[in-house]
Structure 1
């Protein structure tokens, strides 16, 4: 399934997470839509050309002991739509995994583009054998069952904040750009302007790169093109 390893979509958006962050900063989005401390684990750890772009399908995990939180009508992986990026918010300070090899098998069969977990995942070898894009904060050997469960689906989720960075809320249908550098969230109503801003910035960067390779200095090059 090579489609999972390239940034491909019915929407033309060939830009990286870094391109998006630069664009969102220029457009005045606090924190540049960046979700810190979540990294690519599969197919490779923070390496390779894996890149995911697509609309978010959101999953809110809660503690298994929370009897007041609603329960979805179907398993959250069964409900994951094709062509979407599964985005999972895990309760803070829980050490279990909320995503494993069996979930990847089902999500991949459904046509999901990848998964982003604000917490822990497991079964790394199975993830990598499947070549499924998996982004997470860390790994765990413990499964979810006794500790956490899915609650709200396709409702806004807030990824655990970093003390030095604004929290990022993901709404269903927001666009996710994820690669070896990190993850950026594009508000769904900003996709066109972000794409236009990225195109202009990338064109400038290409000129800068060519000049630098020719031996020109940074200050000279930036003064000319930026």
Structure 2
């Protein structure tokens, strides 16, 4: 299935449908990364949905002299058709993604960015129509505070300590929309798609029945067993 992004007709399945499928497949935490929200083009609104393979970036404190350094800027290395996934140390309040990065990412063909941390230049992001998902915003840039280490290594996101951490490998699939962000392990994509197709068909039947006047109890018993 081709990677895609849209603000008109959403591709693939909704993040909630994917999470339900991953729950059925017994993936810990259903691949859900809580507390990361859509900030651009709109805040938690609209039909924006991104679906594509992850390009992973691990940020470390600028003071870290032990971690390897990337031989190029991580934005310049974005593969076309990918979703940029950035893990930021939780104790830092600076942004790791801004308007200039979005400008370059769009030229590189990125589908969007998911940041386990902070972003800035919201108006620039929105004017560009670029899908940005993040935990929070900041006024401060990355330079004095953080840097990228080796690219496309497994990264872990756990913005909420009460939910299982999610490890993202390069090439895992990201589904993100106004409801949130879900990670599909790349080897489960076909199973997730099949489960989503099955469950959304049942949901369509439930919706039609409820709109016709049936109760939740009757509808669920009839179609969901």
TM-score, normalised via structure 2 length:
0.96
Which one of the candidate residues 3, 18, 21 is aligned to 2:19? 21
8 Å CA contact retained: 1:34, 1:184 = yes
1:7, 1:116 → 2: CA distance?
A: 20
C-alpha deviation, 1:162, in angstroms:
1.6
Does residue 169 of structure 1 match 2:173?
A: no
Q: How many positions carry a matched residue from both structures? A: 221
User: Within 2, Cα distance between the matches of 1:7 and 1:17?
Assistant: 15
Structure 2 unaligned regions, length at least 5: none
Task: Report SS of the residue matched to 2:162.
Answer: coil
User: How many angstroms apart in 1 are the aligned matches of 2:65 and 2:8?
Assistant: 41
Runs of at least 5 residues in structure 1 that lack an aligned partner in the other structure: none
The aligned residue for residue 219 of structure 1 is 217
Which runs of 4 or more aligned residues in structure 1 lie more than 3 Å from their structure 2 counterparts after TM superposition? none
Provide the residue aligned with 2:197 in structure 1: 199
SS in 1 for 2:58: strand
Q: Which residue of 1 aligns with 2:177?
A: 179
User: For the residues of structure 2 that align with 1:77 and 1:7, how far apart are their CA atoms?
Assistant: 27
Report SS of the residue matched to 1:184.
Answer: strand
Deviation (angstroms), 1:164: 1.5
Task: Compute the RMSD of aligned alpha carbons.
Answer: 1.3
Deviations 1:15-69 (A, max 9, x none): 0100000000011111000000000000000000000000000000000000111
Query: CA contact under 8 A between 2:70 and 2:150: conserved in structure 1?
Result: yes
Contact 1:4 1:133 in 2 (8 A): no
The one of 64, 83, 86 equivalent to 1:85 is: 83
Q: Tell me how far 1:152 sits from its aligned partner.
A: 1.8
Instruction: Give TM-score scaled by structure 1 length.
Output: 0.95
The reply on whether 1:44 has 2:42 as its aligned counterpart is: yes
